[in-house]
């Protein structure tokens, strides 16, 4: 357990943060029981002389700074088994974590946050140093809006004018890609405006919840810093005012000379700018309420559509169940004489067209093809020929088909109509009749669109 580990006179408590080369622990002085924070090199990094030199250099820079918005450091130890330095224990959280939790909390305190960072950064520049890694991760803030600037591991001295003239390309790019200035990407010497650019990216993320540039690859992200114009914060957060849009665009200018020339200049300009149209927390609550109302409206609409579909299906079912049953053929009366099945007349005779249908005539066997489709072979029955009557000579007999599964008998037939009388001079038409209307799709049989 970390609380059982003692390094020199400090008992380790909770782990506050962890990096690639070091970890920050909450520690307690065993003599006074006062609480501090310890930045301790990891075992692997302790074996690398460059990492130990970086830790010592960070302590030297931070110990020379004295400002209420900059973390205070007290002592540095480099022994045979470990290397660390002790700093004040600040009970806040880094701004990156607050943005991820609730960006409206940062926006509600943005004015004080930005002013405190500018004042602390101005003090760093006055001491002749550049921070070179300004980002939300390196800014701490408490619930009472106390602010501290931390992590000076990449800091360097401000280059002189002569150094800028005689210097060539920088061999190594240092910084975090999301917040790095365009001139650093071009391997030029950093300057005060480089820190201001990184602070502008940080401010953009606080105002909108996301950085201005995001790339698919690390190199793509660096190119966007050089070539792409940053969007206005109000395009993402409509609560941001045009004055704040203009200031952010100036801070994120591609050329250093087009940005504010110092933290003091930027602070003076920022104090006259209105940041938001309305209170950020109230705006966030209203947007959340509008979103919930829209979601509720969508859900109610979906439920109404489903209910309409269910009612329509239920109505169809009721209509189908209320339809009259198919008419069954009536049996001939008991007093009537049985009628024998007529035989087909010889081909030399031509039967006269019947004037009236014979309702008492026994029904012919059911052939599904008579109702559903054409006959097998050549020719069709004469137009208007009653169902159940013998076919005239010369017409082939239809081949019975298997009834459709689930269908026990013929479909309900329409009332037969007597065919018109034909003269001997007018031959019977051989063209097939049009399909019955029952075979066409009906509007109430179309699927419902939900």
Quickly tell me which residue has 């004489």 as its tokens: 337
Choices 3.30.70.100, 1.10.3720.10, 3.40.47.10, 3.30.200.20: CATH for 1-89:
3.30.200.20
The whole-number pLDDT of residue 267 equals 97
Using alpha carbons, list the distances in angstroms from residue 249 to 203, 205, 226, 254, 259: 11, 13, 14, 10, 9
Quickly tell me which residue has 């992590």 as its tokens: 151
Per-residue pLDDT, averaged over 4-21, amounts to 90
Residue with more model confidence, 296 or 133:
133
Residue with more model confidence, 437 or 171:
171
Report the chain's mean pLDDT, rounded to a whole number: 79
Q: Where are the domains of the chain?
A: 1-89, 92-288
**Which superfamily is assigned to 92-288 in CATH?**
Transferase(Phosphotransferase) domain 1 (1.10.510.10)
Residue 428 and residue 342: Cα distance in Å, rounded?
23
Grade residue 332 by pLDDT with cuts at 50, 70 and 90: low
For residue range 340-366, list pLDDT tens digits in order: 555 555 555 555 555 555 555 555 444
Residue 309 and residue 297: Cα distance in Å, rounded?
18
For residue range 112-127, list pLDDT tens digits in order: 999 999 999 999 999 9
Overall pTM surpassing 0.85 (yes/no)? no
Quickly tell me which residue has 């690859």 as its tokens: 217
Residue 206 and residue 114: Cα distance in Å, rounded?
10
Residue with more model confidence, 234 or 162:
234
Quickly tell me which residue has 């931390």 as its tokens: 150
Residue 86 and residue 72: Cα distance in Å, rounded?
9
Residue 79 and residue 8: Cα distance in Å, rounded?
10
Grade residue 425 by pLDDT with cuts at 50, 70 and 90: very low
- From first CA to last CA, the distance across the chain in angstroms is 60
Tokens of 37: 């924070």
Q: At what angle do helices 110-126 and 263-270 cross, to 10 degrees?
A: 160
Q: Count CA within 13 A, CB hemisphere, residue 448.
A: 13
Grade residue 272 by pLDDT with cuts at 50, 70 and 90: very high
For residue range 173-201, list pLDDT tens digits in order: 889 999 999 999 999 999 999 999 999 99
Tokens of 88: 């004040």
For the chain, what's the residue count? Answer: 450
204, pLDDT greater than 80: yes
The whole-number pLDDT of residue 91 equals 86
């Amino acid at each position: 357990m970390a609380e059982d580990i003692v390094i020199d006179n400090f008992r380790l408590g909770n782990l506050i943060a962890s990096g690639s080369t070091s970890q920050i622990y909450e520690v307690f002085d065993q003599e006074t029981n006062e609480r501090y924070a310890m930045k301790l090199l990891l075992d692997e990094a302790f074996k690398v002389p460059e990492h130990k030199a970086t830790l010592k250099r960070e302590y030297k820079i931070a110990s020379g700074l004295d400002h209420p918005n900059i973390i205070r450091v007290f002592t540095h130890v480099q022994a045979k088994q470990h290397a660390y330095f002790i700093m004040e224990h600040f009970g806040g959280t880094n701004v990156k974590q607050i943005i991820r939790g609730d960006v409206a909390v940062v926006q509600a305190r943005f004015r004080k946050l930005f002013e405190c960072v500018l004042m602390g950064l101005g003090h760093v520049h006055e001491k002749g140093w550049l921070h070179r890694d300004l980002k939300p991760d390196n800014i701490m803030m408490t619930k009472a809006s106390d602010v501290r600037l931390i992590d000076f591991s990449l800091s360097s001295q401000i280059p002189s004018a002569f150094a800028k003239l005689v210097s060539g390309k920088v061999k190594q790019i240092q910084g975090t890609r999301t917040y790095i200035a365009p001139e650093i990407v071009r391997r030029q010497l950093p300057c005060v405006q480089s820190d201001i650019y990184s602070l502008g990216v940080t401010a953009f993320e606080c105002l909108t919840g996301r950085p201005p540039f995001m790339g698919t690859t690390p190199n793509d992200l660096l190119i966007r810093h050089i070539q792409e114009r940053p969007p206005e914060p109000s395009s993402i957060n409509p609560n941001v005012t045009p004055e704040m849009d203009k200031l952010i665009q100036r801070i994120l200018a591609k050329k250093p000379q087009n940005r504010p020339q110092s933290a003091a200049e930027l602070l003076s300009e920022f104090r006259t700018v209105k940041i938001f149209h309305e209170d950020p927390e109230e705006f966030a609550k209203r947007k959340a309420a509008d979103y919930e109302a829209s979601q509720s409206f969508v859900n109610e609409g979906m439920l109404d559509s489903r209910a309409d579909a269910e009612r329509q299906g239920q109505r169809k079912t009721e209509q189908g169940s209320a339809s009259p049953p198919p008419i069954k053929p009536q049996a001939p009366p008991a007093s009537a004489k049985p009628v024998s099945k007529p035989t087909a007349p010889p081909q030399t005779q031509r039967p006269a067209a019947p004037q009236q249908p014979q309702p008492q005539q026994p029904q012919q066997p059911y052939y599904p093809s008579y109702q559903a489709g054409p006959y097998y072979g050549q020719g069709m029955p004469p137009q208007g020929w009653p169902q159940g009557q013998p076919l005239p000579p010369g017409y082939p007999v239809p081949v019975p088909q298997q009834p459709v599964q689930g269908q026990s008998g013929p479909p309900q037939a329409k009332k037969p109509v007597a065919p018109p009388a034909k003269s001997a001079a007018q031959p019977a038409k051989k063209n097939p009749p049009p399909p019955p209307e029952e075979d066409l799709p009906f509007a109430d049989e179309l699927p419902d669109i939900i």
